[in-house]
Structure 1
Amino acid sequence: MTVSVGVMASDPEYAVHAELNVQVETRDGVHLATDVYRPADPETGDPIDEPKPVLLDRTPYGKRGRMERHGEWYAERGYVVAIQDCRGRFDSEGEYYIFKNEPEDGYDTVEWLAEQPYCDGQVGTFGTSYGAWVQSALATQDPPHLAAMFVNQGAANGRKATFRHNGAFELRWLAWAFTLGGGFAKRALENEDVQQRLANVDVGEVLENGPIQRGQSPLRHIPDYEEWAFDIMTQGSASDELWQEPGFNFEAFYDESADVPTVYSGAWYDSYTKATCDNFEALAERKDSDHYLLMGPWTHGWNSYPLPSWNKSYSGELEFGEAALRDYQETRLRFFDHYLKGEDTWSDQPTVQYFEMGTGDGSRSGDRLFHGGEWRSGSAWPLPDTEFETYYVHGDGTLSTEKPTVENSSTTYEFDPKDPVPTLGGNCSSYITYEQREENILEYPLAQRKLQDLTGRGGMDQRTRPDTLGADEPYGPLEQRSDVLVYRTPPLEEAVEVTGPISVTVYGSTDAPDTDFTAKLIDEYPESEDFPNGFAVNVSDSICRGRYRGYRDEPDFLEAGEVYAFEMEPYPTSTVFEEGHRIRLDISSSNYPRFDVNHNTGGPLYGDREYNVATNTVHHDSEYATQIELPVQPR
């Protein structure tokens, strides 16, 4: 069902009184610096006496600047807002190990706030990305006074899809360690030389020259960051203690997690798309409280206050039009007003609301292709009327719903880990580096330096260009590479709407003890006057590391020549493949730097100095029918 998303703008009712760097003591004696914004009398500026609900936002990015304005906005509308520096970050005490202490620190903060005289006993939480992780982390501890959560773009199981992905490592976390993480580490903030060393890091160059070694990169100057970075890069088994902790794996703690009204919001081109949908699907079934899923067409993050739109009307090289815009602050206000103040501001919100992409005419809109779309709604996820339809690959390069009947059909290619397939957009975030400057950090502070994107994000035409990391001349379509196998339908005679989770099974063999297979779903636009070469839109992608195939908890290496099922779950989506378009599936063995590259040696997950070229084979016959399952909706 198509839905309207108009939201009435609210007016401020109060002035704001701020108490900065309030010290919240945790159970182990560490003090967390917290700014508290309270509604105040517009005439006197004094905080009001009436207790109000508290909204908590915990961040590793510094609680001032944009976050300060964010706190003031909700305080003006009748909430106490607490914005806290996470442990070991900025003004908070303690040592920083990514996400490890967030469950207990979050619980302690919620309960501390509930005891304050300005709180009416209800604490809601909100935040994006890291600010979403920490909400789910504290929810695993079920704090008694937690009353509602708005979780925007956060994780579910860090080993399954966020830190690692089906065995592979998402290199964005190494990029984050060098930039937004390490650049603002306590030691970097306190030592100009350390911060300058991190400011001088060209992350693209680090990745190209990788893998890095312990004690041999700028991370050695912030050893606590080097520790967690290498833990994540080198530990891939479920038995590793890291992946069982509540700060890393919320999925393992679903049953004991808090039962409070929750919105899980995200985006089709976000780095947490799958996790957002997984959290909603699992917890909406387990919990009695109201749970909601809200998915837009955007990339990671949201626009800074006071801009009124939720992200932008575009993702990468795709334009969706004004229909895509949402007011992020007002949407969250409506939710909290309903569940924390008892106002009738959320009763018409559908359980599932999502933006269906792809109904545009494909014309040129500035520098982008007009992909278009509209908001739709549903009662559950996956949508109740979903018909999962299987498309099979065939030896002649076609993709169809007809299963192969031939025997012993396959296609072989060489996978050279020193020449991986470049990443062009998609579900990417934090693949970044600071612009290289001649000025030192005193002349040009790190906080003011521009961040440069290494991969692009969102929907992009799958053609390399001069700024594509890892690409060489002549630049052109990825499908022209010898290590990319392309399977496409004939031009569609009628539109196909795909909304929901996607799965791929590649039946593959190799001569290596370990290798990867990748899958990428593409909406192939036909040639047009605006785009004479057509336009290949990446919809969703995934990877499977051979030693962890079949979602294994422990590694199991490959036997040369044996055929295995390499199962993948490209992130869910909602898009329409219009009449005249082709549904396309690309299969290869790398997607760099979205994922780290398998060296094909069977050596360590990260840090291997040896490289082998693997001969990989994709099977497409009656016994081993490589396939993609799409969640097709009735039109």
Structure 2
Amino acid sequence: MRSEPAYGVQAELNVSVEMRDGTVLAADIYRPTDPETGDPISEPKPALLDRTPYGKRGRMERHGEWYAKRGYVVAVQDCRGRFESEGDFYIFKNEAEDGHDTVEWLADRPYCDGQVGTFGTSYGAWVQSALATQDPPHLEAMFVNQGAANGRKATFRHNGAFELRWLCWALTLGGGFAKRALEDDDIQQALANVDVREVLEDGPIQPGQSPLKHIPDYEEWTFDIMTSGNANDELWQSPGINFEAYYDESADVPTVYAGAWYDSYTKATCDNFEALAGRKDSDHFLLMGPWTHGWNSYPLPSWNKSYSGELEFGEQALMDYQQTRLDFFDHYLKGADTWSDQSTVEFFQMGEGDGHQSRDGRLFHGGSWRSASDWPLPETEFTALYAHEDGVLRQEAPNEAESHTSYEFDPKNPVPTLGGNCSSYITYEPREESILEYPLSERNLVDMTGRGGYDQRTRADTLGAERADRPLETRDDVLVFRTPPLEEPMRIAGPISVTVYGETDAPDTDFTAKLIDEYPPSQEFEDGFALNLADSICRGRYRGYRETPDFVEPGAVHEYTMEPYPTANVFKAGHRIRLDISSSNFPRYDVNHNTGGPLYGDREYNVATNTVHHSEEYPTHIELPLQPADD
């Protein structure tokens, strides 16, 4: 039977939890109490652990109370070096061991029945997967919402490139709430004055000259992830960053991997489920909605929104996040029959709407929930669409002996990012008030890229755009390949791959790919709507997921393989499937300077002539996870 809010709550704040190296981390413990006497109940209960770098009060406090009222002990802990916890913060470095030690400490409390479940979103998902690599004996269940798998392959870096969101994060939610910043008003004021948009446009920043110079330990790890690209570097083998390397020894407990089609961890969420569901005996589940990244308002994350960016999906897209997690933990920690009917895979199939304009101006893309037994879906037919010299995408491979298209890639004029799988591309709103008058914790965050589905045309506030209302397809450095209008709907769900046969006159360059659902013009959308579904990038020197750099040979044709994040979408009759190929997507990814210089920090720039081949020998194509047509 589902747990009901039958208890009162007692909170014990800043409880000391000692780690194996003697560092003391602070946790708030929420315990169920007798509603009449207010005393903690004597019966031990399962415990839930949430570890966070964002401060364990505020919404996290209410979040702890919600579960304690339903008969759980809840521990919310500040990660090492953050807020009330001792130690130095180096992003994800100590989370595996700290998480293990906290699970075992919690299980040993007299008010815990020995079972510990974990939950958390984003950073709170990373730390769960990190502690799972240590296989704590008392870990019994995990609900991992929007987290990583291999930080080098996708999320910190991405197929060789750097996801600039982590520089943005370091300058805002990271550095702004570093312990030194919280203890020194001058440091916090200096970070509050930073406009991250200017940092990105004026970059690259240099060590000792960046806004992070006030907190050198944060500057250190930021530059580590920006400048380190080799797979054998200690950073990328850490159990706090590369969970893929530790799959075999990771905990075998019931786990939900939850995410969203427009999340910054979409691929990692699916990768974790696919790898671990096949390795482990315990029940594993994949749950994918049409949402974007992170929390929206307490107590629900993006799951309580029926929209993503400029798309509207309708009320059917909503899901009760807290109740879903409660049903999972009730089943696996309390033996309730609250999860027995849950499908192994549950996902939202986007694109079933009629494309009308909703009351708030969004395009009604619509969709519905689907269930499956496995991922990728068993009935998937991976189908290639080939680029042809006339700009058409066809299932027929090209037969020309020689066919190619060239463009100039100027790293000082990159293609701007318009929505997509973005998070943390943020800056604090500019304010005249000091942080004493208007603290960072109360300031609004400005989103620089948008997140979710967007019509691919620039806006007045698009970072780096030369002018507003310009379709990206009109740029000289964007190659567009599209199918004829579809005669019948085409439904896809699953992983995507793009192979570009590229050539450059530079020692290193990037190629990018973006999958687009192209709506035809309508009365409400007179110019149609070029809807981004997924994108990716490949840095030449690390093409093919190379572990060490292998610079390209100028003038030679190389294979650039990319994996745009998985998605589930219906391309309706009359729509076109479109593939955009270019060499930049800024600021989603850092821009290659085409010099063969350092991964980050190069002050030199070269304009490269890049060429995409679409011939019989070099058939550039996208492979889509085609599903059987609905009845």
Tell me if 1:48 matches 2:48: no
Q: 2:438 aligns with which of 429, 441, 444?
A: 444
What amino acid maps onto 1:312 in structure 2?
A: K
What residue is the counterpart of 1:135 in the other structure? 128
> Does the 8 A contact of 2:503 with 2:555 survive in 1?
yes
What residue is the counterpart of 1:21 in the other structure? 14
Q: How does 1:588-627 map to 2 (within 5 A)?
A: 588-627=582-621
- CA separation of 1:267/1:307 partners in 2, compared to 1, >3 Å: closer, same or farther? closer
What residue is the counterpart of 1:64 in the other structure? 57
What amino acid maps onto 2:560 in structure 1?
A: F
| Alpha-carbon distance in structure 2 between the residues aligned to 1:468 and 1:304 | 26
Deviation at 1:416, TM superposition (A): 0.0
What residue is the counterpart of 2:103 in the other structure? 110
SS in 1 for 2:400: coil
What residue is the counterpart of 2:309 in the other structure? 316
- CA separation of 1:498/1:46 partners in 2, compared to 1, >3 Å: closer, same or farther? same
- CA separation of 1:308/1:558 partners in 2, compared to 1, >3 Å: closer, same or farther? closer
Tell me if 1:469 matches 2:466: no
Deviation at 1:166, TM superposition (A): 0.1
| Alpha-carbon distance in structure 2 between the residues aligned to 1:206 and 1:304 | 29
Deviation at 1:327, TM superposition (A): 0.2
What residue is the counterpart of 1:222 in the other structure? 215
| Alpha-carbon distance in structure 2 between the residues aligned to 1:462 and 1:493 | 24
> Does the 8 A contact of 2:98 with 2:131 survive in 1?
yes
What residue is the counterpart of 1:431 in the other structure? 425
Tell me if 1:541 matches 2:535: yes
Deviation at 1:297, TM superposition (A): 0.1
| Alpha-carbon distance in structure 1 between the residues aligned to 2:262 and 2:105 | 37
> Does the 8 A contact of 2:293 with 2:302 survive in 1?
no
SS in 2 for 1:600: coil
What amino acid maps onto 2:460 in structure 1?
A: P
What residue is the counterpart of 1:168 in the other structure? 161
What amino acid maps onto 1:496 in structure 2?
A: M
What residue is the counterpart of 2:450 in the other structure? 456
Q: 2:564 aligns with which of 556, 563, 570?
A: 570
What residue is the counterpart of 1:178 in the other structure? 171
- CA separation of 1:455/1:9 partners in 2, compared to 1, >3 Å: closer, same or farther? farther
Tell me if 1:531 matches 2:531: no
Instruction: List alignment gaps of at least 5 residues for structure 2.
Output: none
What residue is the counterpart of 1:402 in the other structure? 396
| Alpha-carbon distance in structure 1 between the residues aligned to 2:153 and 2:552 | 21
Tell me if 1:256 matches 2:245: no
Tell me if 1:502 matches 2:496: yes
| Alpha-carbon distance in structure 1 between the residues aligned to 2:301 and 2:403 | 55
Deviation at 1:10, TM superposition (A): 6.1
Deviation at 1:218, TM superposition (A): 1.4
What residue is the counterpart of 2:270 in the other structure? 277
What residue is the counterpart of 1:5 in the other structure? none
Q: How does 1:385-400 map to 2 (within 5 A)?
A: 385-400=379-394
- CA separation of 1:454/1:308 partners in 2, compared to 1, >3 Å: closer, same or farther? closer
| Alpha-carbon distance in structure 2 between the residues aligned to 1:536 and 1:490 | 15
What amino acid maps onto 1:537 in structure 2?
A: L
Deviations 1:337-382 (A, max 9, x none): 0000000000000000000000000000122000000000100000
| Alpha-carbon distance in structure 2 between the residues aligned to 1:303 and 1:465 | 24
Deviation at 1:9, TM superposition (A): 8.8
Tell me if 1:74 matches 2:67: yes
| Alpha-carbon distance in structure 1 between the residues aligned to 2:522 and 2:207 | 51
Deviation at 1:11, TM superposition (A): 3.5
Deviation at 1:475, TM superposition (A): 3.5
| Alpha-carbon distance in structure 2 between the residues aligned to 1:13 and 1:542 | 48
Tell me if 1:329 matches 2:326: no
- CA separation of 1:255/1:45 partners in 2, compared to 1, >3 Å: closer, same or farther? same
Deviation at 1:630, TM superposition (A): 0.1
Deviations 1:388-441 (A, max 9, x none): 000000000000101001111000000000000000000000000000100000
> Does the 8 A contact of 1:318 with 1:371 survive in 2?
yes
Q: 1:414 aligns with which of 408, 414, 417?
A: 408
What residue is the counterpart of 2:510 in the other structure? 516
RMSD of aligned C-alpha atoms?
Answer: 1.0
| Alpha-carbon distance in structure 2 between the residues aligned to 1:9 and 1:199 | 45
Given the two structures, how large is their TM-score scaled by the length of structure 2?
0.99
> Does the 8 A contact of 2:172 with 2:427 survive in 1?
yes
Deviation at 1:502, TM superposition (A): 0.2
SS in 1 for 2:258: strand
What residue is the counterpart of 2:149 in the other structure? 156
| Alpha-carbon distance in structure 2 between the residues aligned to 1:307 and 1:113 | 26
Instruction: List alignment gaps of at least 5 residues for structure 1.
Output: 1-7
Deviation at 1:217, TM superposition (A): 1.2
> Does the 8 A contact of 2:294 with 2:301 survive in 1?
no
> Does the 8 A contact of 1:308 with 1:327 survive in 2?
no
What residue is the counterpart of 2:5 in the other structure? 12
What residue is the counterpart of 2:623 in the other structure? 629
| Alpha-carbon distance in structure 2 between the residues aligned to 1:10 and 1:51 | 15
> Does the 8 A contact of 1:309 with 1:326 survive in 2?
no
- CA separation of 1:486/1:277 partners in 2, compared to 1, >3 Å: closer, same or farther? same
What residue is the counterpart of 1:579 in the other structure? 573
Tell me if 1:303 matches 2:296: yes
SS in 2 for 1:497: strand
Deviation at 1:307, TM superposition (A): 5.3
What residue is the counterpart of 2:335 in the other structure? 342
> Does the 8 A contact of 1:315 with 1:457 survive in 2?
yes
Paired residue total: 628
Tell me if 1:121 matches 2:121: no
> Does the 8 A contact of 1:301 with 1:311 survive in 2?
no
> Does the 8 A contact of 2:2 with 2:327 survive in 1?
no
| Alpha-carbon distance in structure 2 between the residues aligned to 1:422 and 1:229 | 23
Tell me if 1:37 matches 2:30: yes
Q: Work out the percentage of aligned pairs sharing the same amino acid.
A: 79
What amino acid maps onto 1:212 in structure 2?
A: I
What amino acid maps onto 1:497 in structure 2?
A: R
Q: How does 1:339-378 map to 2 (within 5 A)?
A: 339-365=332-358, 366-378=360-372
What amino acid maps onto 1:455 in structure 2?
A: T
> Does the 8 A contact of 2:300 with 2:322 survive in 1?
no
> Does the 8 A contact of 1:302 with 1:311 survive in 2?
no
- CA separation of 1:475/1:595 partners in 2, compared to 1, >3 Å: closer, same or farther? same
Deviation at 1:305, TM superposition (A): 2.3
SS in 1 for 2:612: strand
| Alpha-carbon distance in structure 2 between the residues aligned to 1:308 and 1:201 | 28
- CA separation of 1:500/1:452 partners in 2, compared to 1, >3 Å: closer, same or farther? same
What amino acid maps onto 1:603 in structure 2?
A: G
> Does the 8 A contact of 1:498 with 1:633 survive in 2?
yes
